[in-house]
Amino acid sequence: MKENKYDDEVFFNKYKEMSRSVYGLKGAGEHPVFTAYGSQDWYYDDQGNILHFPVDNYYYEGKREAVFLGEKVIKYHRTLTTYLETLLENGFSIRHVVEPPPPEDMMDLPGMRDEMRRPMMLLVCAEKRGDWLR
Protein backbone atom coordinates (compact mmCIF):
# COMPACT_ATOMS: atom_id res chain seq x y z
CA MET A 1 0.00 0.00 0.00
CA LYS A 2 2.73 2.47 -0.85
CA GLU A 3 1.36 3.94 -4.08
CA ASN A 4 -0.30 6.98 -2.54
CA LYS A 5 -0.04 8.82 0.74
CA TYR A 6 -3.71 8.54 1.62
CA ASP A 7 -3.87 4.81 2.26
CA ASP A 8 -0.29 4.13 3.25
CA GLU A 9 0.30 2.00 6.33
CA VAL A 10 2.28 4.93 7.77
CA PHE A 11 -1.05 6.72 8.22
CA PHE A 12 -2.36 3.97 10.49
CA ASN A 13 0.88 3.83 12.46
CA LYS A 14 0.73 7.59 13.10
CA TYR A 15 -2.94 7.43 13.97
CA LYS A 16 -2.53 4.70 16.56
CA GLU A 17 0.20 6.75 18.28
CA MET A 18 -1.99 9.83 18.69
CA SER A 19 -3.08 10.73 22.18
CA ARG A 20 -6.84 11.19 22.32
CA SER A 21 -9.82 10.39 24.50
CA VAL A 22 -11.75 8.77 21.67
CA TYR A 23 -9.90 6.15 19.66
CA GLY A 24 -12.27 5.82 16.74
CA LEU A 25 -11.64 5.96 13.04
CA LYS A 26 -14.38 6.29 10.46
CA GLY A 27 -13.71 5.94 6.79
CA ALA A 28 -15.72 6.07 3.62
CA GLY A 29 -14.64 5.33 0.11
CA GLU A 30 -15.62 3.74 -3.12
CA HIS A 31 -16.29 0.02 -2.80
CA PRO A 32 -13.51 -2.23 -4.17
CA VAL A 33 -16.00 -3.82 -6.57
CA PHE A 34 -16.65 -0.34 -7.97
CA THR A 35 -12.95 0.52 -8.42
CA ALA A 36 -11.65 -2.86 -9.62
CA TYR A 37 -12.10 -2.50 -13.37
CA GLY A 38 -11.33 1.18 -13.60
CA SER A 39 -13.90 2.56 -16.04
CA GLN A 40 -16.72 2.54 -13.47
CA ASP A 41 -19.29 2.38 -16.26
CA TRP A 42 -21.81 -0.30 -17.11
CA TYR A 43 -21.60 -2.67 -20.06
CA TYR A 44 -24.38 -1.94 -22.55
CA ASP A 45 -26.00 -3.90 -25.37
CA ASP A 46 -26.35 -2.59 -28.94
CA GLN A 47 -29.57 -0.78 -28.00
CA GLY A 48 -27.96 1.03 -25.05
CA ASN A 49 -29.53 -1.13 -22.33
CA ILE A 50 -27.43 -1.95 -19.29
CA LEU A 51 -26.20 -5.55 -19.33
CA HIS A 52 -24.00 -5.67 -16.24
CA PHE A 53 -21.28 -3.93 -14.27
CA PRO A 54 -17.74 -5.13 -15.05
CA VAL A 55 -15.57 -6.48 -12.27
CA ASP A 56 -12.15 -7.42 -13.56
CA ASN A 57 -8.59 -7.34 -12.24
CA TYR A 58 -9.94 -7.27 -8.68
CA TYR A 59 -6.80 -8.72 -7.10
CA TYR A 60 -4.46 -6.41 -9.01
CA GLU A 61 -4.26 -3.48 -6.63
CA GLY A 62 -3.08 -0.06 -7.65
CA LYS A 63 -3.66 2.90 -9.87
CA ARG A 64 -6.78 3.19 -12.02
CA GLU A 65 -7.96 5.88 -14.42
CA ALA A 66 -11.63 6.78 -14.40
CA VAL A 67 -13.88 9.53 -15.68
CA PHE A 68 -15.78 11.35 -12.94
CA LEU A 69 -18.20 14.16 -13.82
CA GLY A 70 -16.60 14.38 -17.24
CA GLU A 71 -13.04 14.67 -15.92
CA LYS A 72 -10.26 12.08 -16.00
CA VAL A 73 -9.24 11.19 -12.43
CA ILE A 74 -6.70 8.85 -10.87
CA LYS A 75 -7.95 6.42 -8.24
CA TYR A 76 -6.29 3.64 -6.29
CA HIS A 77 -7.94 0.25 -6.06
CA ARG A 78 -7.50 -1.97 -3.00
CA THR A 79 -9.23 -5.23 -2.12
CA LEU A 80 -11.60 -5.41 0.81
CA THR A 81 -9.06 -7.67 2.51
CA THR A 82 -6.35 -5.02 2.22
CA TYR A 83 -8.54 -2.31 3.74
CA LEU A 84 -9.71 -4.39 6.67
CA GLU A 85 -6.48 -6.29 7.37
CA THR A 86 -4.45 -3.06 7.39
CA LEU A 87 -6.70 -1.76 10.15
CA LEU A 88 -6.50 -5.02 12.12
CA GLU A 89 -2.72 -5.28 11.73
CA ASN A 90 -2.32 -1.76 13.10
CA GLY A 91 -4.21 -2.23 16.34
CA PHE A 92 -7.78 -1.48 15.36
CA SER A 93 -10.96 -3.44 15.95
CA ILE A 94 -13.56 -3.31 13.22
CA ARG A 95 -16.83 -2.02 14.69
CA HIS A 96 -19.02 -1.67 11.62
CA VAL A 97 -18.81 -2.33 7.90
CA VAL A 98 -21.61 -0.97 5.74
CA GLU A 99 -22.26 -1.12 2.00
CA PRO A 100 -25.04 1.47 1.82
CA PRO A 101 -27.66 1.07 -0.90
CA PRO A 102 -29.27 4.13 -2.45
CA PRO A 103 -32.01 5.63 -0.27
CA GLU A 104 -35.51 4.40 -1.03
CA ASP A 105 -36.77 7.94 -1.61
CA MET A 106 -34.29 8.34 -4.49
CA MET A 107 -35.39 5.25 -6.44
CA ASP A 108 -37.52 7.28 -8.85
CA LEU A 109 -34.52 9.30 -10.05
CA PRO A 110 -33.24 8.27 -13.50
CA GLY A 111 -30.74 5.42 -13.23
CA MET A 112 -31.00 5.07 -9.45
CA ARG A 113 -32.66 1.64 -9.49
CA ASP A 114 -29.67 0.34 -11.43
CA GLU A 115 -27.45 1.34 -8.50
CA MET A 116 -29.02 -1.56 -6.59
CA ARG A 117 -27.06 -3.86 -8.93
CA ARG A 118 -23.60 -2.88 -7.65
CA PRO A 119 -22.05 -1.63 -4.42
CA MET A 120 -20.69 1.86 -4.89
CA MET A 121 -19.63 2.87 -1.38
CA LEU A 122 -17.94 1.20 1.57
CA LEU A 123 -18.10 2.60 5.10
CA VAL A 124 -15.85 1.28 7.87
CA CYS A 125 -15.82 2.24 11.53
CA ALA A 126 -12.89 1.03 13.64
CA GLU A 127 -11.39 1.81 17.03
CA LYS A 128 -8.05 1.24 18.66
CA ARG A 129 -7.94 -1.97 20.66
CA GLY A 130 -7.23 -1.59 24.36
CA ASP A 131 -3.90 -3.43 24.15
CA TRP A 132 -2.64 -0.74 21.75
CA LEU A 133 -3.60 2.23 23.94
CA ARG A 134 -0.87 4.14 25.74
Give me the CATH number covering residue 112.
Answer: 3.40.50.150
Burial of 122 (0-12, 13-18, 19+ CB in 10 A): buried
What's the number of domains the chain is made of?
1
**Predicted pLDDT at 15:** 61
| Contact indicator for 43, 51 with CB cutoff of 8 Å | yes
Q: What is the pLDDT of residues 51-69, one digit of tens each?
A: 999 999 999 999 999 888 8
Confidence (pLDDT) at 123: 94
Residue 17 — very low, low, confident or very high, per pLDDT cuts 50/70/90? Answer: low
Looking at the domain assignment, is residue 1 inside a domain? no
- Is residue 31 assigned to a domain? yes
Structural domain includes residue 117: yes
Across the chain, what does the average pLDDT equal? Answer: 84
pLDDT at residue number 68: 80
- What sign does the CA torsion over 11, 87, 59, 44 have? negative
State pTM to two decimals. 0.77
Q: What angle do CA 28, 60, 7 make, to 5 degrees?
A: 35
* Better-predicted residue by pLDDT, 7 or 28: 28
CA atoms within 13 A on the CB side of 57: 14
Tell me which residue range forms the domain holding 69.
9-132
